[in-house]
Amino acid sequence: MRDRFALFFFKLISRLPLIWGRAVGAVAGGLMWLFCGREAKTTMTNLALCFPHMSKAERCAFARKSLRETAKTAAEAGAIWHHSWDWLQQYILEVKGEELLRERLAEGRGLLVLAPHHGNWEVVGLYLASIAPLTAMYQPLKNPCVDAMVLKGRSKANTTMAPTNRRGVMMLFKALQSGTIVGVLPDQVPDREAASGVAPFFGQPALTIGLIHGLIQRTGCAVVSVFAERIPGGFRMRVLDVDEAIYSADENTSLAGLNASVERCVEFSPEQYQWEYKRFRRLPAPYPKHY
């Protein structure tokens, strides 16, 4: 029943104008704060870790805004999954830094795009695929009904979804070697068995995916960060250069550069980052458990 309701909700909200969907998300985010559930508690924990200079009142106000923004992202996702790039284009009101993306892509060594959980990352995939063939990793969701909908929504023209296994990693290598775009969510907590290391993120130790370092070292690809910032009436696409440390042959240095690149994105609109995600979990001993 829960799976069917989730599917019905996303299909229903996909039919609403974007501004109405955002309004529904804002209400849902407000309720998450009001009922002080897991999302609210995790957000407050993360803010206390990353912004220790904030007072409790400031953190509460920030968390309330953040939960609303995250719920807006979820509400917008339904519409994005059910529509094409032609529909989405009307909501891309501004693009900053696209010349950098095109310059890096024109170098012909493959372009690795970091798309953090900031703004609306569902927009980023369609935007990138409008420029060049895109290969992106996809981790199945626990809800099978929603999983099928999301996979279909992301597997649109010019986009290939790669599974989160060895075959998928090889697909990413081949895409970069062919000079096209590979999209990766750089701020997911990797599984314990996955290649990873600990690097600072907003001053806190965070288990960080090692795949990106491996892709860079083995292919010599270029790297940029891209996110879709939510603004009134639509989105502002931002393409940013990454921290140079990400290209280092030393893995620890590279991982620190990766997280610094994500921080650079977040600093544009901090409340639009997915702070309710347990970013500091799975840390090995002797690091503390925060959740």
Q: What percent of the chain is modeled with pLDDT above 90?
A: 79
User: For residue 187, which of 276, 277, 127 has the smallest C-alpha distance?
Assistant: 277
Q: What is the pLDDT of residue 142?
A: 77
Q: Let me know if domain 2-272 sits in CATH 1.10.287.
A: no
Residues 119-148, mean pLDDT to the nearest whole number: 89
Lowest mean pLDDT among 38-52, 71-85, 224-238: 71-85
Q: What is the pLDDT of residue 37?
A: 92
Q: What is the largest CA-CA distance in the chain?
A: 51
Q: What is the pLDDT of residue 7?
A: 62
pLDDT tens digits for range 188-222: 999 877 768 999 999 999 999 999 999 999 999 99
227 SS3 class = strand
Q: How far is 108 from 97, CA to CA, in rounded Å? A: 19
Q: What percent of the chain is modeled with pLDDT above 70?
A: 96
Q: What is the mean pLDDT of the chain?
A: 93
> pTM for the complete prediction?
0.93
State the pLDDT confidence band at 107, using cuts at 50, 70 and 90: very high
Peptide linkage before 232 cis (omega within 30 of 0)? no
The residue length of the chain stands at 291
Q: Is the pLDDT of residue 157 over 70?
A: yes
DSSP 117: S
203 SS3 class = coil
Whether the Cβ atoms of residue 104 and residue 239 lie closer than 8 Å to each other: no
pLDDT tens digits for range 46-86: 999 999 999 999 999 999 999 999 999 999 988 898 889 99
Q: How far is 177 from 8, CA to CA, in rounded Å? A: 41
Domain spans in the chain, listed from the N-terminal domain onward: 2-272
Q: Is the pLDDT of residue 267 over 80?
A: yes
